Amino acid sequence: MKTMLLDAGNTAVKWRIVSPDGPWSDADPRGTIPVDTLRLAEELQDACNAAGGSLSDAAGCCVAPQPVQDAIDQATIAALGRPVRWFSAAARFESPGISLHNGYRDPAQLGADRWHALIGARAARPRGTLLVVSAGTATTVDTLTDDGRFVGGVIAPGIRLMHDSLARGTARLPRADGTYRPHPDNTGDAMQTGIVDAQIGLIERRIGRIRADQAAASARGDDADDRTIHVLLSGGNAELLYKAWADAQACDPAATAVTRSVVPDLVLRGLRVRSTREPPT
């Protein structure tokens, strides 16, 4: 039997139909639906129906407005006879090979998408210090230690929100997409490059924070065997940030202890791990 996984974000609902025990495959049925479409419930119901009798469960997380969550439930009730099993953040998560501790003062305050991206990141890379970057409507950068402690993270406007802010708050800057360039020579490219560099700077600042923590631990005699920081990028702007960051990182001698990779659908990957660990009753 199969499960529909749903990541209901601020601008779109991403879904994927998976076998809980099977491999993560490019052949999995999947799609993205804007949250503002009037046909959200209908399109999701069509996706459920296309899977036929093999689909028996739906699991997801939601940071979208309540009407979006209600529309998704409407679709799965019509197709499967049950609403989505909505997961939120928790104080801890344990699964074979994965042990996470939520370091938020109030663990329930952590966004469900961020928590499940951390689970998905640890499933993708079982060891090491991770910096999990979700680059979407907002950009979040979260730190996961080698022993599975989420120690905290930061939230900033994403690329589109930064563009919108410039267009609304200035008189003569256009609402236009430019191209990322080493030395921009026009306004559109200057805006795009400045915004992308701000996003990369956010990531590099968090790397610096981890480096400071590692140095403090070393001074206490608690030096880790491996000080490599693994940056996992996900979300709609992940590829853009990855490519723009590549040249600058190649020129940085300290970058030898930093790896970076794009891992699509970290939230959905985390949801599969959790929904398998906590099956429907």
Residue type, 69: Q
113 given a catalytic annotation: yes
Cβ 128 vs Cβ 228: under 8 Å? yes
Q: Which two tokens stand for residue 279?
A: 């099956």
β pairing state of 12-18 and 30-34: antiparallel
Catalytic residue (one of 7, 57, 73, 113): 113
Q: Which two tokens stand for residue 17?
A: 């139909």
Secondary structure letter of residue 254 according to DSSP: G
Q: Which sign, positive or negative, has the C-alpha torsion 72, 75, 76, 77?
A: positive
Q: Report, in angstroms and rounded to the nearest whole number, the Rg of the chain calculated over CA atoms.
A: 20
Q: Catalytic residue positions?
A: 113
